[in-house]
Structure 1
Amino acid sequence: MIQKQQELTAVILTLNEANHITECIQSLSWADRVVVFDSYSRDDTAVLAEAAGAELLYSKFENYAQQRNAALDSLQTDWVFFVDADERGTPELGTEIRRVMAERLERGWYVPRHNYIFGKLTKGAGWFPDYQLRLFKHGHVRYERPVHEVAVVDGEIGNLQQPLIHYNYRDVGHFRAKQRAYTSYDASILYNEGIKPKPHNYILQPLRQFHWRLITLAGYKDGLHGLRLSLYMAYYEWVKYRKLNWFWRKNR
């Protein structure tokens, strides 16, 4: 008896992603379905998505965990593969996903990413393998935590070998904007945990971050690019503690 092939649905969460959405959808042509789960974009995301052959669904955005759970609840499929609009699949990744769907018992899979930062493939300083938990047996995963959402999988989890392509920070301005948001969120977590900044944190934490990025995570392998990123991340570690201090002063 021939076993029916399981259905794979690629899901792209979007908000104003007109610059990326067409190429992203095209890169996932090996999926059985591509669903764009849109947060009522104000640009041409929806029009371009439908033109590229994707199904289009809408949901008001509250937070990332809610949005991913809403996407899961809206689907009837065997497997779900979450992809961001600035990511690209490859045929090799598609082949590997089909193989593990057919042959393995794990219900969740991490996929590594090749991050392009300022247009350069970055393999050091913490940006590779950059595993992301994205492939799931439908019905066996829920998301928790509003930002930097966490997937909780009912079952074993494995690691894929073939990477997603991620066009990460396009330029320094984009990088700074993202890091400002991340440092505010991270500082708020520390504040809610009752952690107060100490004078030495403003010096030692950035130094540790720089050493960790450049040496431990092999940022040096990317040359001046890796050095630059390590310095940036050290600086934003300092910014995080400045913001933590601001939280305490504001709510004193």
Structure 2
Amino acid sequence: MTTLSALIVARNEAERLPDCLASVAFADEVVVVLDRTTDASAAIARAAGARVIEGGWHLEGERRNAGIAACASDWVLEVDADERVSPPLAAAVRRVIGTSTHAWHQVPVDNYVGDRLVRYGWAGSFGTTSVPRLFRRGAKSWRAQRVHPGLDWVGKEGPKITEGALIHLVDRDISDMLRRLDKYSSAKAADLIAKGDIGSLPDNLRRFLSRVWKSYVSRKGYREGGWGVLLALCTGAFPLLAYLKARLEPERHGGVKEGGVKRD
């Protein structure tokens, strides 16, 4: 029988972790990676039967790779603490891993801001409606970056899953969306500084305009009314803000040392 590991990477998510864990109970094992966590997340995960890995990673790619390495099943499904696997998606995942000859598959995402499902306008690094989260063990690795790290693959992509969705509770409200923009752009600024190439103002102004257009027009954000305007502005502002932080405040975004790991 083909087996499945559900992998959850979280930091101080005691409030949202129970619902996330319940949604992946169909998996053969659940692995929870807790990064510098100080709340009750570890106890909640263990009570749900998950295997817990605690440590400190300042690079998103490294902590996700630590979780992948801990998974023992044939396939891995990555789920964030602010996401839930819908029952139709759970059934589709089980069906796919039992029949697929490919290395990985895209999974559909339904994005919510508060109680509102926002279907259109997600683009760039600020949100997406499809993610490559289902993969054979050994097929996927994350690059050493702080925010939205790149991916390296072994094997070929299979057809996108179309049944159900990952329910993504992206932001609680507009203020939460703006806080996320600030957090992501700061992390991206640190990545730019570490890379030694922060880009230029003209290039990032062009990126701002092209990403606003992509979000609002190409991705049909206009169909969401004012929410589409907000998404387009945040999508365009993300790389521009990251550049400006790296250019104007390099001393505040110069990177941090990496922490250690403790395993159960």
Deviations 1:122-159 (A, max 9, x none): 11112685221211111232221322123322101122
Taking structure 2 as the reference length, what is the TM-score of the superposition? Answer: 0.81
Is 1:101 equivalent to 2:97 in the alignment? yes
Is 1:144 equivalent to 2:127 in the alignment? no
Taking structure 1 as the reference length, what is the TM-score of the superposition? Answer: 0.84
Q: 1:209 to 1:15 in 2, by over 3 A?
A: same
Are the equivalent residues in 2 in contact too, given 1:30–1:91 (CA < 8 A)? no
Are the equivalent residues in 2 in contact too, given 1:209–1:237 (CA < 8 A)? no
1:168 to partner: Cα distance:
0.3
Q: 1:129 to 1:232 in 2, by over 3 A?
A: closer
- 1:156-167 correspondence to structure 2 within 5 Å: 156-158=156-158, 159-162=160-163, 163-167=165-169
Are the equivalent residues in 1 in contact too, given 2:32–2:67 (CA < 8 A)? no
Distance (whole Å) between structure 2 residues aligned to residue 14 and residue 244 of structure 1: 26
Using the TM superposition, name which of 210-219 and 121-130 deviates more: 121-130
Is 1:116 equivalent to 2:118 in the alignment? no
1:43 to partner: Cα distance:
0.7
Distance (whole Å) between structure 1 residues aligned to residue 4 and residue 240 of structure 2: 43
Match of 1:214 in 2: 216
Distance (whole Å) between structure 1 residues aligned to residue 136 and residue 85 of structure 2: 19
Match of 2:183 in 1: 181
1:57 to partner: Cα distance:
2.6
Distance (whole Å) between structure 2 residues aligned to residue 29 and residue 58 of structure 1: 21
Match of 1:153 in 2: 153
1:74 to partner: Cα distance:
2.2
**Structure 1 stretches of 5 or more lacking a match?**
none
Match of 2:68 in 1: 72
Distance (whole Å) between structure 1 residues aligned to residue 53 and residue 243 of structure 2: 40
2:85 corresponds, among 75, 84, 89, to: 89
Q: 1:121 to 1:94 in 2, by over 3 A?
A: same
Distance (whole Å) between structure 1 residues aligned to residue 52 and residue 204 of structure 2: 47
Match of 1:48 in 2: 44
RMSD: 2.7
Q: Percent identity?
A: 28
1:196 to partner: Cα distance:
2.3
Distance (whole Å) between structure 1 residues aligned to residue 48 and residue 31 of structure 2: 11
Are the equivalent residues in 1 in contact too, given 2:208–2:237 (CA < 8 A)? yes
Are the equivalent residues in 2 in contact too, given 1:109–1:157 (CA < 8 A)? yes
SS at match of 1:214: helix
1:249 to partner: Cα distance:
11
Using the TM superposition, name which of 104-113 and 239-248 deviates more: 239-248
SS at match of 1:157: coil
Equivalences, count: 244
Distance (whole Å) between structure 2 residues aligned to residue 129 and residue 40 of structure 1: 27
2:233 corresponds, among 219, 231, 234, to: 231
Distance (whole Å) between structure 2 residues aligned to residue 124 and residue 68 of structure 1: 28
Match of 1:30 in 2: 26
Deviations 1:155-207 (A, max 9, x none): 01122213211000112222122211322344556663363214x965x5544
Q: 1:80 to 1:248 in 2, by over 3 A?
A: closer
Distance (whole Å) between structure 2 residues aligned to residue 184 and residue 6 of structure 1: 41
SS at match of 1:193: coil
Distance (whole Å) between structure 1 residues aligned to residue 41 and residue 191 of structure 2: 33
